Amino acid sequence: MSLTAVLKTANSGLVASQVGLRAVSDNIANVNTPGYVRKIVDQQQLVVGGQGMGVEVSGVKRVTDQYLQLATLSSASESGRWDAVAQYMDNAQSLFGDPSGDSFFFGRLDAIWSAFAATANDPSSSLLRSQSLSSIEDFLNEGARINSSIAELGRTVDTQISANIDRANDLLEQINKLNADISRARMVNADASGSENIQSQLVDELATLINVQVTSRPTGGLMIRSTEGVMLAGDGAAVLSYSRTDSTKGYITATTSAGSGVGKPITITGGALRGLLDLRDDKLPGISDQLGEFLSRAADSINAAHNAASTVPAQASLTGRNTGLDLPTAISGFTGASTVAIVDAAGQLTRRVDIDFTAGTMSVDGGPAAAFTPASFLADLNASLGATGSATFVNGALSISATTGGVAIDEGTSNKAGRAFSHFFGLNDIVRSGGFTNYDTGLSGADPHGFTPGDQIIIRLAQQDGKPIRDVTVSVPAGTSMNDLVAALNHNTTGVGLYGQYTLDDQGGLKFTGSDPFYATTSIVQDNTARGAGGPSISALFGLGTVERAGRANRLQVAAAYTADPMKVGLAKLDLSVAPGQPVLTPGDGRGALALATAGDVVSRFSAAGALGNVNMTVSRYASEFGGSIGRESAAADTRRSSAQAVKTEAVNRRQSVEGVNLDEELVRLTTYQQAFNASARMIQAAKELFDVLTNIV
């Protein structure tokens, strides 16, 4: 080997040792720097012409483990998701109060039953009546407050989603820019670890917001893709957007730099954005829906008891609620019997009209039965009342008035969609609504749907995660029956038939069930339908869509007539078994109050809402199930958050054990590089001395 070769070999050793020393120096200096990944020198034998010529530094690289990196990103996404869910579910649960305290929302229901039980002992007390009404108002107002607070939480979640989208876009832009810096460094064989460390930290933060797929670029840097492979960063940064309306599920779209400029919906399965979308589209609306179902059924139970009761003396007129139906359709389907009584100021019977819905007959004062049909019901009832009273039906509401005296109703065995005659029409409701809250319409497939042919409703079909499938525009068919309307909704081309089915249940409720493989959900984009002139839309009558169902908790209130005069609260019951000439309504009768006190123990039918499916149980039992379900969901979210954080911590620790700086190891490397440097220096010194000897010989 020539002296020149020796010098070149030794010099390569010096250079390699210096690079190694710089790497070790950086590692030791950044031992406590968050996100720093230790680096090592990648060196190899230098061969020229088949002969070894020292060592060559091929680059400085970061010590990473791809498996641990992916595990950390995955666990970070899962932790971010459940951290968001647990935080807001805890906030939602707190709205209902402390179960052990006096302010617990569901405890207010018991206060209603207790108040009416006390009133039953002294029906003449205006104070006790007022307290009973106040307990109902307190219950409904608190329910409305909670529902409004849940809606406010939803708006906060919406704002947080938008902020996270902005941050994700910023991260994608920075990650993409760093790719250029890393590629340039790689091309000249320079140290790119600084840019790579920064990029790695950005990717770690991005993973807490949204789950991503991360792969290496051949020229250096990273490529970021969505679950389905849409390029988010790598050769240009995509722009994420949040698409939503109040009535539809939200979803994320990505507009790629190389695309057409139209956002493409992407699948989000993890990260804070997934948790926030779940809250916004599922969990919070589910709580509102369940709260609305609970309040409406509780009000329904109170109204059922009050419609079977009467004031003493009886009220001069009973006016019902808007059923959303025409009278023939409303009367059709009733079974059993009911009695309309006109009584004087002394509580004595002046006219009795017995209605047998099963037989389709009316009889006056026990006389012969005369047939009626749903179409002739109003005229026949007026004829039966004669000069003692009258009945009208305006804007979907039935009213019955007495010419002198008052009106009282015995519900008897009458029934339609689980409600008796007076209860179905709301003739003596103590709790009134500013809209529709009970979606058991009582309609059957053969009943006329009543909607104007050609009117349209736009339904959005979406996957479980909110990713849209398509919007369908359904026109009200020319066919007049509910079967025709359901068939139009389920049409394979112009309806939802390819993704699920709408069905009309035995109570007249309209429900959608998604089918395999998407198990789609539906929401209402726009509804221009109306049942008759100025009547309710399809979505309002049947409770279709998030906005319609979530808002019903705010529509319930005690009727103004009762708050103005508590003595109008019906606490007595019509007694038709008394002897002729005896009063059928008597002062001091508290049987109606007792029925109100036990209304919470009457089994009711609850539709699927929130975490509970279709169930038949008492209102009091449902209250405990509802309260328990909120607690369980909050606890489950907190448990999943703890589990996800534990997995994340373990993954981060293992990753740091590989990527982090170990001072003992670095000191060993430092010593090694120092010795190698000294050895190369001695070789140069030896070559110099040999060269000097040879020169002196010459």
Q: Are 349 and 342 in contact (CB under 8 A)?
A: yes
pLDDT tens-digit series, residues 586-626 = 999 999 999 999 999 999 999 988 888 899 999 999 999 99
Structure tokens at 210: 């949204």
Distances in Å between the Cα of 644 and the Cα atoms of 69, 76, 282, 666 are 16, 8, 21, 33
| DSSP β-bridge partners for residue 56 | 44
Which residue range is the domain that position 690 belongs to? 3-63+660-697
Question: Under 8 Å CB-to-CB from 520, ≥6 apart: which residues?
Answer: 461, 462, 463, 469, 496, 499, 500, 514
Beta-ladder partners of 253? 241, 265
CA–CA separation, 378 and 372 (whole Å): 9
Q: Does residue 534 form part of some domain?
A: yes
- Residue 482: predicted pLDDT: 97
**Per the domain annotation, does 473 fall within a domain?**
yes
Residue 673 has a pLDDT of: 80
Domain end (from 489, 512, 542): 542
| Average pLDDT of span 624-635 | 92
**Between the CA of residue 175 and those of 170, 180, 200, 221, what are the distances in Å?**
9, 9, 9, 9
Residue 520 within a domain:
yes
Q: Are 214 and 224 in contact (CB under 8 A)?
A: yes
> Which residue bears the tokens 């019901």?
377
Cross-strand partners of 363: 354
Alpha helices by DSSP H, 245-368: 271-278, 284-307, 327-331
Residue 164 has pLDDT above 90, yes or no: yes
Q: What percent of the chain has pLDDT over 90?
A: 72
State the pLDDT at residue 568: 94
pLDDT at 27 over 90: no
> What is the distance between the alpha carbons of residues 182 and 174, in angstroms, rounded to a whole number?
12
What are phi and psi for residue 221, nearest 5 degrees? 95, -165
Mean pLDDT over 472-491 rounds to 97
Any domain includes 230: no
pLDDT band of residue 397 (cuts 50, 70, 90) is very high
148 exposure class (CB count in 10 Å sphere: 0-12, 13-18, 19+): middle
The dihedral built from the CA positions of residue 663, 664, 667 and 669, taken in this order, carries a sign that is: negative
Average pLDDT of the chain is 92
State yes or no: pLDDT of 53 exceeds 80. no
- Which of 542, 572, 607 delimits the end of a domain? 542
619-659 and 66-94 helices, crossing angle to 10°: 150
* Domain presence at residue 642: no
CA separation for the pair 446, 452 (Å, rounded): 17
CA distances from residue 116 to 196, 429, 558, 597, 619 in whole angstroms, order as listed: 72, 16, 15, 5, 16
Residue 612, domain member (yes or no): no
Instruction: Give 36's contacts (C-beta < 8 A, 6+ positions apart).
Output: 30, 197, 661
Is the per-residue pLDDT at 75 higher than 70?
Answer: yes
Mean pLDDT confidence for 550-563: 94
CA distances from 256 to 206, 224, 240 (A): 17, 12, 9
Per cent of the chain over pLDDT 70 is 100
| Paired sense of beta strands 456-462 and 468-475, if any | antiparallel
Residue 474 lies in a domain: yes
CA–chain centroid gap for 455, Å, is: 29
Q: Label residue 1 by pLDDT band (50, 70, 90).
A: low
Res. 668 pLDDT band, cuts 50 70 90: confident
Q: What H or E segment, with its residue span, contains residue 459?
A: strand 456-462
* 166: confidence class by pLDDT, cuts 50, 70, 90: very high
Total count of residues recorded for the chain: 698
DSSP state string for 283-315: IHHHHHHHHHHHHHHHHHHHHHHHHT-B-SSPP
The tokens describing 122, both together, are 């002294």
**Per-residue pLDDT, 4:** 76
Number of domains in the chain: 2
Taking the complete model, does pTM exceed 0.85, yes or no?
yes
Ramachandran region, residue 442 (left: φ > 0; alpha: ψ -120 to 50; beta: rest): left
Q: Is 528 a member of any domain?
A: yes
Query: Where is the domain boundary, 542, 576, 592?
Result: 542
List, for residues 233-250, the tens digit of each pLDDT value.
998 999 999 998 888 889
Q: Specify whether the CB–CB gap between 137 and 117 falls below 8 A.
A: no
pLDDT at residue 24 in the model:
87
